Amino acid sequence: MKSFQEYLTLAKSSKAFAIDDSWAQGRSVFGGLTAALLLTHIEANTGFTDRELRSVNVHFCGALIANEVFDLNHQVISSGKSVTHVQAMLTQAGQIKTLITCCFASERPSGIEVNANRHENLPVLSDANKFPFIPGVIPNFIQHIDIRLNGKNFPFSGSDNQPITGWMKFEAPSDELNDSNILALIDAWPPAVLPLLKQPAPASSVTWNVEFIHPRSQLEANSALFYECEVAQAQSGLAHTEAKIYSSSGELVALSRQVVAVYDQKTN
């Protein structure tokens, strides 16, 4: 059983490898890990040291099977004076399983400056409820991630449309809290639409967009991040969710939006 950081190290090369089933999410490998692997692969093989990651668009195209090898590939789509677009694909058995497009940008002089609002009243971490890992009930990958939920807005609790909020960090210590780490942590949360259901039903992310806020303060390697997500709209089996991610000091770190497919009713 390998850690998140060990898999990121493997992703820096172009050699094929497999992910063990401790990172499984149903019949697929945890999508946040696959997205993080692709981002790490891009950053290790392009060397944009003068440009910060500003956005990632993720398409989950198919289930990545655990314990079966896959390949990582990337392509620079365009690169200008200040903005670079890169695409990367994870393929298994000749089929694309995850595809991401990243935008890297360098800072430029500008007369426009709008500071992001800070979260001044973050709940206390110790007051939050740890999301339990129950083998056979909760997805395997949760054993690697410490999720603390505020309130009682648990999946399938039949609650009203209140935001899901709480804290997140990896169980195993890491050397740094970088964009790949943040990306995986964000996707570890159950879709914000699930607490609206009164009984278990499958759901899966279809597309996902994350925007990283810069400049930002240095994040401590093993500090927790705060997550706040709500359902913007849901109908006809698809839900649109939007989230904000804050540092432990209340600084806005990232914005996240997902389209989630929900299978709560059978179709012919």
Residue 83 in 3-state DSSP? Answer: strand
Domains in the chain: ranges and CATH = 4-106+126-262 (2.40.160.210)
Lowest-pLDDT range of 54-58, 122-126, 157-161: 157-161
Give strand pairing partners of 169: 146
Please give, one letter per residue, the 3-state secondary structure of 217-265: CCCCCCCCEEEEEEEEEEECCEEEEEEEEECCCCCEEEEEEEEEEECCC
pLDDT at 160 over 90: no
The tokens for 198 are 């009164």
Dihedral sign for Cα atoms in the order 104, 107, 109, 110? positive
pLDDT tens digits, residue range 223-267?
A: 999 999 999 999 999 999 999 999 999 999 999 999 999 999 877
Mean residue pLDDT of the chain comes to 93
